[in-house]
């Protein structure tokens, strides 16, 4: 699906204090950005931010970081975070391939919500649950490696379960018809159309 480019979105993202510029400079010291020692949870592919913003509203003692590649998608999230003065959420506008150069032993949980399934075999390495990305996530975690995934794509879900197992992750919870009261914008759309939501929570020492 081609995303609509919004004129001026790059400038808005660049000028927002919510969006952390040059994130690599903060590797190993993200707690200083939030000015506390609360745990940090990361969502890769935050989209318009409805999931992460609701998490931040409900859990003031948790810091949240959303990573999103496309500036145009971030505009509504930036507006909401600024209007509500949510101090426990920040945004990084970059590609997911850079994640291991941004964090080091700092993330308590990783969320992968409705990621691009990259269905063609030649694009397997681009899937956010491929061995390529699971290896990138290794150094970012503080303590246990905990990942939660939601997807409407059954094939991606099956692939992810295999990839998690292959990479030594243990399934804590799995549901192929999952209901969550904290949802992404895609999730609401899929549920309204009667599509099942796949969910899994995995961890690794």
Residue 2: predicted pLDDT: 45
Number of domains in the chain: 1
Residue 13: predicted pLDDT: 87
Tens of pLDDT, residues 106-156:
999 999 999 999 999 999 999 999 999 999 999 999 999 999 999 999 999
In a domain, 2, yes or no: no
Tens of pLDDT, residues 11-52:
888 889 999 999 999 999 999 999 999 999 999 999 999 999
CATH code assigned at 178: 3.40.50.150
- For helices 71-84 and 50-58, what crossing angle results, to 10°? 20
In a domain, 4, yes or no: no
Residue 5: predicted pLDDT: 65
Whole-model pTM?
A: 0.93
In a domain, 44, yes or no: yes
Residue-averaged pLDDT of the chain: 94
Tens of pLDDT, residues 151-183:
999 999 999 999 999 999 999 999 999 988 888
Q: What is the 3-state secondary structure (H, E, C) of 1-62?
A: CCCCCCCCHHHHHHHCCCECCCHHHHCCCHHHHHCCCCCEEEEECCCCCHHHHHHHHHCCCC
Catalytically active residues, by annotation: 116
Contact 133, 167 (CB under 8 A): no
Residue 118: predicted pLDDT: 97
Residue 109: predicted pLDDT: 98
Residue 11: predicted pLDDT: 84
Residue 18 belongs to domain spanning: 9-204
In a domain, 71, yes or no: yes
In a domain, 19, yes or no: yes
Instruction: Name the band, by pLDDT with cuts 50, 70 and 90, for residue 66.
Output: very high
In a domain, 119, yes or no: yes
In a domain, 70, yes or no: yes
Contact 53, 77 (CB under 8 A): yes
Confidence check: pLDDT of 186 > 90: no
Residue 1: predicted pLDDT: 43
Tens of pLDDT, residues 75-90:
999 999 999 999 999 9
């Amino acid at each position: 699906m081609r995303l609509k480019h919004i004129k001026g979105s790059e400038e808005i993202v660049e000028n927002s204090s919510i969006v952390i510029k040059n994130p690599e400079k903060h590797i190993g010291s993200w707690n200083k950005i939030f000015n506390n020692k609360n745990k940090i949870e990361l969502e890769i592919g935050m989209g318009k931010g409805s999931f992460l913003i609701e998490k931040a509203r409900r859990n003031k003692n948790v810091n949240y970081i959303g990573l999103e590649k496309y500036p145009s998608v971030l505009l509504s999230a930036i507006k909401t975070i600024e209007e509500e003065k949510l101090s426990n959420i920040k945004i990084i506008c970059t590609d997911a391939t850079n994640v291991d150069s941004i964090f080091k032993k700092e993330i308590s949980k990783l969320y992968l919500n409705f990621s691009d399934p990259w269905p063609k075999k030649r694009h397997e390495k681009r899937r956010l649950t491929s061995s390529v990305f699971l290896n990138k996530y290794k150094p970012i975690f503080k303590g246990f490696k905990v990942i939660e995934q939601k997807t409407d794509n059954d094939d991606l879900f099956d692939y992810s379960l295999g990839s998690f197992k292959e990479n030594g992750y243990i399934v804590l919870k799995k549901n192929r018809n999952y209901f969550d009261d904290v949802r992404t914008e895609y999730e609401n759309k899929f549920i309204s159309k009667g599509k099942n939501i796949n969910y899994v929570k995995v961890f690794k020492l």
